[in-house]
Amino acid sequence: MLIAGNWKMFKGPAATAEFCIALRERELPPSVDVVLCPPFVSLAVAVQLLAGTDIAVAAQNVHWEPEGAFTGEISAPMLREAGVYGAIVGHSERRQYFGESDEAVARRARAALDAGLSVIACVGETEAERESGQTEAVLRRQVSVLEPDEQLVIAYEPVWAIGTGKTATPELVGEAHALIKSILQVPVLYGGSVKADNAAELLALPDVDGALVGGASLQVDSFVSICQSATR
């Protein structure tokens, strides 16, 4: 079971240090893999303060080229040098606000995997796509560009449930996860308004292998509570 906290554009180095110091003092289930995904500027302090623990640090994005004229981007070799464990690719906010295509997501994932990083690749439908019956087609399109790899994990994040407080019903989550696994045999996390009070029900579903947690990962208490819900 994997629980990853995506901090998005929150917590600079000072706030990250405070969080990591507090998290080190908490008891996390040994059966749960825990990953924090801070902003780029906070990766170094997280890696430093979590060294010697079982908590991994991952980036929120990664470029497909090892170096070059790509202002504002970070490469997989740079992340490896910084001691980072992996990276998220294809988050719905990257697709929505920055126009990332399925092809770009696939290139980012492949480059990171080839460099020895673990990857959480995000897929999911918008509310309009679900209402028009396109969920299966969207998931098939987004998943089919990815290649199987032992270090690849997929996160199913229905876009309409991210940051909205809406959560997909267990039935919808189960159907989506089963579909994704029928296309690509990899672990699948659920991401979409996961909180301490709904984590246990979601994580108990048979095809759910963990969670990609957004806002609820910004507070130590709620994040630890979600991690503790993952012990099955």
Report the alpha-carbon distance of residue 226 to residue 231 in Å, rounded. Answer: 10
Set 93, 100, 157, 177: catalytic member: 157
Active site residue 63: no
What's the token pair of residue 86? 């992996």
Sequence letter at residue 182? S
Active site residue 147: no
Set 63, 91, 93, 125: catalytic member: 91
Report the alpha-carbon distance of residue 70 to residue 227 in Å, rounded. Answer: 36
Per-residue DSSP letter, 15: H
Sequence-distant (6+) residues with CB within 8 A of 71 are none
Give Rg (Cα) of the chain.
Answer: 16
Sequence letter at residue 5? G
Q: Which residues participate in catalysis according to the annotation?
A: 91, 157
